[in-house]
Chain A
Amino acid sequence: MVLIQLVNGLMEGMTLFLIASGLTLIFGVTRIINFAHGSFYMLGAFLTYELVPLIGPGTLWGFFAAVAVSAAAVSALGILFEMTALRRIYGKDGILQLIVTVALVLIIRDLVRMTWGANSVPVQMPDALMGALVVGDTYFPLFPIAIFAAGLTVVLAMIWVIYFTRAGILLRAGTDDRGMVALLGVNEKLIFTAVFAAGAFLAGLAGGLSAPYGEVNYLLDTTIIVSAFIVCVIGGLGNLYGALAGALVVGVTKAIGVMYFPRLSMVLIFLIMAAVLIARSLGRQGGPAR
């Protein structure tokens, strides 16, 4: 029983990480808190809903292709937003970030409502992932396990890019000292745009991957952004490993909490958050972002 709850927690944690990693990546480099991150997630889910019936409906490759195309489309929107709006406010008053990104939240929400209506839309699950792995009397659902595997792949790919490629070196350098990187002749603007595009891609990816399992409606943006922020606060905003740890802590705490302290399970997560804030005001990992 504990084992299943642990698996449940890890699986929810991985989805949370996919969302939070984009948020934390964008903040780490650009110092922008992107409130529209949840909206990118929601768009990823709705685009997947549209694309699944068009690309090999019911098949495994069709589903992942639909999700990838959706995430790419969301990423393109992210690039557009970064180039037209965010570029103008880097390094300026924090309130401007709030105004610009929340404006995008409201615009996307209204457009989604106008396009897809107020009801939840059903996203088809690939046939191969419908069932469960039955071990004795215990069911392990296939779909979240597959999402966990997909998330893990993304995590490994991110670590590889950030720590073992030239792009990653530039990115880390940009995080440490923007001015210096610019002095060395690296196009700083390009780094920022690329990071924002990657962050938006991750959000779109997370939205698409979770679409068949949760509920897809126009309120998804705010639901998800709150969870993402909790993860980031526990992990330290701007810290990728922190986000991973934070996401898994939130997922597992909730799952185990429901089992043993059903009345406290929600409070537990906030208690952890409060404890982290009191102990280390910069997040679980402490120190400045890297």
Chain B
Amino acid sequence: MLEKKNTVAAVVLAALATSAGAQDGPVKVGFAADLTGACAALSEDGLNGAKIAAEEINARGGILGRPVELIVRDTQTKPDEGAKVARELIAKDRIDVLTGVCSSAVMLAESAVSAELKVPFYAAIGSTQRANIELYQPYFWQVQANATMEAYAAAEYVAKKPEWKKISALGSDYEWGHTSVAAFTERLKELRPDIAFADPIYAKVGETAMAPYITATLAQQPDAVFAPLFGPSLGATLKQGQGFGFFQKTNLVTLMTVDTLQSQGVSMPADNVYGIARAPFFALEQSPEVTAFIETYRAAYGEYPTDWAINAYDGLNFYAAVAEKAGTVEADAIIAALPQVSFDGLREKGLTIRALDGQMNAPVYVGKAAKVEGYDFPILTEVEKFEGAPLMPAEDLILQAREAAR
């Protein structure tokens, strides 16, 4: 009997503690990240950036006077596992906001859970435009340029090279590769009607024996090759292309974030590689905030921050700013406050979220890879920054795409 009473008392106490916790305890950030599997390296960097953001927010008094707590879970880069982990974080840990994801597939799975359970969810690494367009839900936003915007930026850059008259595409054979090639081609055709396009070539995801694809691409005799490849396939193309004279015969325009630059090291081709990046630390305006972050990051992790680390850092700080504006972390108030906040991040000032699709007007950087004194890995030089707003898909196009998807 006594035991039963105690149990009841414990349950009541626990209930009280939970309800009190929701108002006075820490602001809980659920970091459902792809810490193992294909996305592991990117997610780890993102987590490192978010940790620094959380420490700094806490040092200046937290969000609305409450400390920030990161609750980290691994999704194994699997959509079903991501959805499960997201549910657990929401149901058991009672998180206030969900983030951390890298893979597009896991991102869409987590976004569906966020919509169903009405918990805010933001992406700082994964960038599929489907989350903004066809599968948009009001509790979602993303703080970096989506894949379509990146492809548009690449098209704008390529358009400024009058000597490039024939373009090939070599992409990863899945949604991102295909939609990137489509968006790039569409924008570049508008900008430069004189350019000829060869048939796109696609390599299976994760392919590392790129020689046959390189040869097939070169057979098209392009002036430049737009290549939405990433990770192993990209690294293999850079290495193996050199043996085929790829970088003597043509130019490569591809995704080139800081982690890729680092892992290429000495084997980066000397010339003719152009990279698209999201937040290259060396090309950001070196404001006191940026230099301080680079120093803090290097002290903590012994390496330069990658694009993923910077965006995850910006992402959490942006959430803090939105919560301060809303005066609460309650989901609907956060969503209402979202488009009203103009945020000064590491990448630039005046970052905002468009209410229609949850897309931030985040910039895209394109530059030429080269070895530069002072870094033991190649960096991007002659970097051109493309403002986010003009790259964002037009509102009527989004509405049309949503209508078509329905």
A interface list, Cβ under 8 A from B: 1, 4-5, 8-9, 11-12, 15, 113, 117-122, 124-125, 130-132, 134, 139-144, 212-215, 217-219, 223, 254-255, 257-259, 262-263, 265-266
Residues of B that sit less than 8 Å from A by CB: 36-38, 40-41, 44, 173, 199, 201-202, 204, 206, 208-209, 211-213, 215-216, 219, 231-232, 235-236, 239-240, 242-245, 259, 262-267
Contact A258 B38 (CB under 8 A): no
The A/B interface has a contact count, at CB < 8 Å, of: 111
A153 to B41, CA, bound (A): 37
Taking a contact as CB atoms closer than 8 A, the residue among A142, A215, A258, A265 that contacts B236 in the complex is: A215
- B37's closest neighbor in chain A, by CB? A219
Known: A120-B231, A130-B242. 10 other contacts (CB 8 A): A1-B215, A9-B212, A12-B211, A119-B262, A120-B235, A122-B264, A132-B245, A219-B232, A259-B212, A262-B202
**B263 contacts A8, CB within 8 Å?**
no
- Cross-chain contact A132 with B206 (CB below 8 angstroms): no
Q: State A131–B267 Cα separation when bound (angstroms).
A: 12
Chain A residue contacts of B173, Cβ below 8 A = 266
In the assembled complex, which residues on chain B have CB atoms less than 8 Å from the CB atom of A142?
Answer: 243
A258 to chain B, nearest CB (A): 4
- Residues of chain B within 8 A of A118, CB atoms compared: 40-41, 44
Q: In the bound complex, do residue B259 and residue A215 qualify as a contact, i.e. CB atoms below 8 Å apart?
A: no
The smallest beta-carbon distance between B211 and chain A, in angstroms, is 4
A140 to B245, CA, bound (A): 9
A144 contact from B216, B235, B243, Cβ within 8 A: B243
Q: Would you give the shortest CB distance from A20 to chain B, in whole angstroms?
A: 14
Smallest CB-CB A-B distances: 3 pairs = A141-B243, A118-B41, A215-B232
| Chain A residues with CB below 8 A from B213, complex form | 258
One of A141, A223, A262 near B216 (C-beta < 8 A): A262
Question: A residues within 8 A CB of B259?
Answer: 119
The residue of chain B having its C-beta at the shortest distance from the C-beta of A266 within the complex is: B204
21 contacts between A and B (CB under 8 A): A4-B215, A5-B212, A117-B44, A121-B263, A124-B267, A134-B245, A140-B243, A141-B244, A143-B243, A213-B240, A214-B236, A215-B208, A217-B232, A219-B38, A254-B212, A255-B211, A255-B212, A258-B212, A258-B213, A258-B215, A259-B216
Assess the A212–B239 pair: CB atoms within 8 A. Answer: yes
Central interface residue in B38, B208, B235, by most chain A CB within 10 Å: B208
Contacts of A4 in B (CB 8 A): 215
Task: Kindly report which residue of chain B lies nearest to residue A122, judged by CB atoms.
Answer: B265
Given the complex of chains A and B, what is the CA–CA distance between A265 and B265 in angstroms? 32
Residue contact B211 to A144, C-beta cutoff 8 Å: yes
- In the assembled complex, the Cα of A30 lies from the Cα of B208 at a distance in Å of 31
Which of A119, A213, A266 is close to B41, meaning CB atoms less than 8 Å apart?
A119
Question: Given the complex, which residues of B lie within 8 Å of A140, measured CB to CB?
Answer: 243
Please state if A139 and B245 are interface contacts (CB–CB under 8 Å): yes
Find the A residue at minimum CB distance from B201: A262
Whether B232 lies near A214 (C-beta < 8 A) is: yes
* Whole-angstrom CA separation of A11 from B243 in the bound complex: 13
B residues within 8 A CB of A130? Answer: 242
Of A132, A214, A257, A263, the most chain B CB neighbours within 10 A belong to A214
Of the candidates B212, B232, B267, the one having the most CB atoms from chain A within 10 angstroms of its own CB is B212
Q: Which residues of B contact A255 (CB under 8 A)?
A: 211-212, 215
A120 closest partner in B (C-beta): B263
A141 to B208 CA separation, bound complex (whole angstroms): 16
Q: How far is the CB of A102 from chain B (nearest CB, A)?
A: 16
Q: In the docked arrangement, what's the CA distance between A131 and B244, Å? A: 9
Are A122 and B236 in touch, CB under 8 angstroms?
Answer: no
Q: CB-CB < 8 A to A254: which residues of B?
A: 209, 212
Report Cα–Cα, A142/B211, bound state, in Å. 13
Report chain A residues within 8 Å CB of B209.
12, 15, 214, 254
Knowing A125-B267, A215-B236, the reply to whether A223 touches B215 (Cβ < 8 A) is no
> Known: A255-B211, A259-B219, A262-B199. Is A113-B244 also a contact (CB below 8 A)?
no
- Is there an interface contact between A223 and B242, defined as CB atoms closer than 8 Å? no
- State the Cβ distance, A123 to closest chain B Cβ, in Å: 9
Interface centre among B44, B235, B259 (most CB of A within 10 A): B235
Given A141-B244, A213-B240, A214-B208, answer yes or no on A258-B263 (Cβ-Cβ < 8 Å): no
Query: CB-CB < 8 A to A139: which residues of B?
Result: 243-245
Q: Which residue of B lies closest to A256 (CB)?
A: B212
When C-beta atoms are compared, the residue in chain A nearest to B259 turns out to be A119
Verify A122–B232 contact, CB threshold 8 A.
no
With contact pairs A118-B40, A120-B231, A132-B244 given, residues A5 and B263 touching in the complex (Cβ less than 8 Å): no
> Within the complex, what minimum Cβ distance (angstroms) separates B235 from chain A?
4
